[in-house]
Amino acid sequence: MTQKQIHDIKFSVLDLAPIVQGGSAADSFKNSLDLARHAEKWGYHRVWVAEHHNMPGIASSATSVLIGYIAGGTTKIRVGSGGIMLPNHAPLVIAEQFGTLESVYPGRIDLGLGRAPGSDQYTAHALRRDLRSGHDFPDQLAELRSYFDPDPTSHNPRVRAYPGEGLQIPIWLLGSSGFSAQLAGKLGLPFAFASHFSPEYTVPALNLYRQSFQPSEVMQKPYAMVGVNVIAADTDEKAQWLSTSHQQAFLSLIRNQPSQLQPPIESMEHLWTSIEKDAIKKQLGSSVIGSPETVKEKLQDFLNETQADEMIINSHIYDHNERLRSYEIVQEVAIKTR
Q: Is the pLDDT of residue 336 over 80?
A: no
Q: Taking residues 105-115, report their average pLDDT.
A: 97
The reported pTM is 0.95
Mean pLDDT score of the chain: 94
Write out pLDDT tens, residues 40-55.
Answer: 999 999 999 999 999 9
Q: Is the pLDDT of residue 121 over 90?
A: no
Banded model confidence at residue 281, pLDDT cuts 50, 70, 90: very high
Alpha-carbon gap, residue 291 to 234, rounded angstroms: 5
Are 146 and 116 contacting, i.e. CB atoms less than 8 angstroms apart?
A: no
Least reliable range by pLDDT among 12-16, 41-45, 284-288: 284-288
Sign for the CA dihedral angle at 8, 37, 48, 290 comes to positive
Classify domain 6-334 by CATH number: 3.20.20.30
